[in-house]
Chains A and B, each alone.
Chain A
Amino acid sequence: MPNSPLMSDLPAEPVLEGDVWMAERVRRRLDDARRRIYNVERHVGEREDAAGAQLLLRTLKLMVAQATRVVEETLYEVREKPAERESKVRTVRRVLVHLEQMLGPALEMLVAPPGLDFTCLIQPYIRLARAVTGDPGAELLFEAIEGFSYEVEADVFAEVREHVEIIAPGLSQTVADLPILGIVAYPARADSDTFLHAVVAHEVAHLALVLYQPEFSDSTDSPGASKSDQVGARSTTPQSPTGTAEEAQASTIPSDPTPESAGGAAAAAEPQEVLLELARNDVDRFLIETLQRSSYFKVLDGDVKKRTTRKMLAWFQELVCDILAVHMIGPAYLLGLTEFLLPTHSSLEPRLTPHRGGLDPEDGQENHPPPAWRLTRLREEVLGFFDEPWRPSKALDDAKAATLRYFALQDDPPSEMQVLPEPEGEPRVREVGASASEVETQERRVLDDAIDLLYPSVKEIVGEALFTRDTFQRDLPLIWSKLEQGIPPAERIEERRERGEPAESEAPRGPDDNERVPCTEWSQPIDWRSILNGGYLYFLHHSTQPAEDPASETKPAPELARKEAGGSAADESDERRRIAEKHARWRDRDYLSGITRGSIELSEILRHMIEMRNQFDTLNSPERPLS
């Protein structure tokens, strides 16, 4: 326990005598706690997520103040009631130990603030978290970590709640009433990679799952009532933007292919209660339901069953969060996740590979399903954003083609992208043979069935955070056109006309120029998720293009060049060209990631300023009636 303030580390020979000395040391500990909070506090004001940080710090300060009060009262009682000295000293120690255990981890969350390039995404993600949790006071903190991973701690105040009864019993209700505060960690080294940060949506989805409470009509104390009936009865209406009516119907049909499933519910009543203990939140009950009906699951025994359930619950949460993230963010999530999980696809080149080397796309881990399967499952969701275009658009066609090319690249990577570095440390032992693959198939089938059960509730869970196909399709052509002109796509000017469209009629003129142009809406900010998707797809459109035809007119094709130049010289030339292309792609990515970041920032500022203008109506320079 590195931060433990246990009294055992006190010097052997005190400067002061007895209780006076103890009181002195205790007060110094409390002063230290206040100082440590202050040291962190004076740096958080500039952070974009300052609101969350200050909420946490204010809570900690309140706890320290309360702890000080408890300690002072106890020290007073030590003097007044010597007979109870021992128990009172124990109380003081306990308060200090708990205070330290709470303070250390809480302050550590604030010592690695997000980098400048990540800043523009902070407010959008906080708004997304508020929308998806339904809590308008929800806050997120962001932490730039050295590891290459995205992580979320859904309840920062859990630590505080754990210790509040000891430190400050009077604050229990106050702490219980605090709004949601989550902390999202992202890789510091990818700070400027705006596209990759689409993965944060997955972490935000975890917040939503923690809070989501499906309407189970209860439950464990009514063994006669099968939970599968309850879950199946919840919703039969297809709500998926990509799903068909048949799919929705299939989701309500018992999924187990074997006849055993028919009478399975009653027989499995007892284990269900045991398994429900493993569930971390109500969403897990969809999987428990499905597992109960699965013949595969029934043949497992004891520990294996528990272990399998635990793993599958973890996988289920990940898969559900993936789906939620696509519905919150759009196609950019899958593209970002692909780059994150498959090192070979990072910027379509193994640019970030060193820290993710050796991750086999077919290998599942304890907490995460196999990347390849996870990514493939999301394709239908993503392609749904391109379905039923409300207006023909070349941008939409190009974006869809780029997405499909990207999927094809994932299925059949070119040889230079297939090289995966060996993992460091001990080689992994993998299950091989038919039995392993059969188990995997069964598990995947159960998970698929559980997700089918949950699927009709996806829109309900996402709530106001839903990123609709209409918004995506409306914004994409505008973003495409602006990016082609090198203009950051931040605002939608309603009166703007595309090239070739006829000019608008002259604005009515008044007696004075200032009066002729009234203070009216000029534009609306473009949804930041549209900008992220547009920028990402625009990059993919250019970077996954097949060889350009015009180039073949002026330059000999590689094969032809090889024949003309002969052997190694041609190979060298090819290699050079390949490296040049790679560098060009990196530059393109940096440029488009930057312009996407800037556009999101401008769009956020515009949104904020419009709000301010509407509130104060005096944001513009003073208007005075002209004489």
Chain B
Amino acid sequence: MMLTADAIRRRLLDAGSELAVTPIVASNQLRGASVDLRLGPDLIVTRRETGVVAFDPAHGQDMSERLREYQTYVRRPVGSAFYLHPGDFAIARSLEFITLPGDLSGQAAGRSSWGRWDW
């Protein structure tokens, strides 16, 4: 069963429900049967120029070092931009901290509202 925005809202307002999505900026983040999440300030970006193309999981220590060489941590101040160029790969986290109770599961899906803006 999918929860409607109303049901999600009720659960969020109930301290005993164990569902938390924090912080929420405005109530219209709850819409339809979903909660709009936002991109957080922390990103891990791959550095292709280091030339690392393969990892061997059999060498754990070596792998973590190579991963560190291959990736770079980027933190963007709130309100500033992060540009993802074609072919780039970045791992980001949501701005919101989420806890789900045992009887719920969530699904993250991309939105295209800004992409369709003015069409």
Contact = CB atoms under 8 A, between A and B. Distances in A.
Contact of B113 (A506, A523, A598, A622): A622
A119 B41 CA distance: 12
A485 B101 CA distance: 11
Interface residues of B, number: 37
B114 interface: yes
A620 B38 CA distance: 10
A605 B95 contact: yes
A503 to B, nearest CB: 7
Interface string B43-86: 00000000000000000000000000000010101110000000
A507 B15 CA distance: 18
A513 B4 CA distance: 10
Contacts of A525: 23
Contacts of A487: 20, 22, 97, 99
A42 interface: no
Interface string A592-627: 000000100011111011101100000111110000
Interface stretch (A235-243, A368-376, A491-499): A491-499
Contacts of B95: 602, 605
Given A514-B31, A517-B31, A504 B13 contact: yes
B79 A493 contact: no
Given A490-B22, A598-B97, A517 B27 contact: yes
A606 B25 contact: yes
Interface residues of A, number: 49
B75 A119 contact: yes
A620 B28 contact: yes
Contacts of A520: 26-28
Given A486-B99, A487-B22, A519 B27 contact: yes
Contacts of B16: 498-500
A517 B12 CA distance: 15
Contact of A522 (B5, B25, B31): B25
Contacts, number: 117
Contacts of A491: 22-24
A602 B97 contact: yes
Q: Which of B13, B22, B77, B114 has the most CB of A within 10 A?
A: B22
A518 interface: yes
Contacts of A619: 25-26
Interface of A: 46, 48, 50, 116, 119, 481, 485-488, 490-491, 493, 495-500, 503-504, 506-507, 513-514, 517-523, 525, 598, 602-606, 608-610, 612-613, 619-623
Task: Give 7 closest A-B pairs by Cβ, nearest first.
Answer: A499-B16, A606-B23, A621-B113, A519-B28, A491-B23, A487-B20, A522-B27
Given A490-B22, A513-B4, 10 more contacts: A487-B97, A496-B15, A498-B16, A503-B10, A517-B27, A522-B24, A523-B24, A525-B23, A605-B95, A609-B23
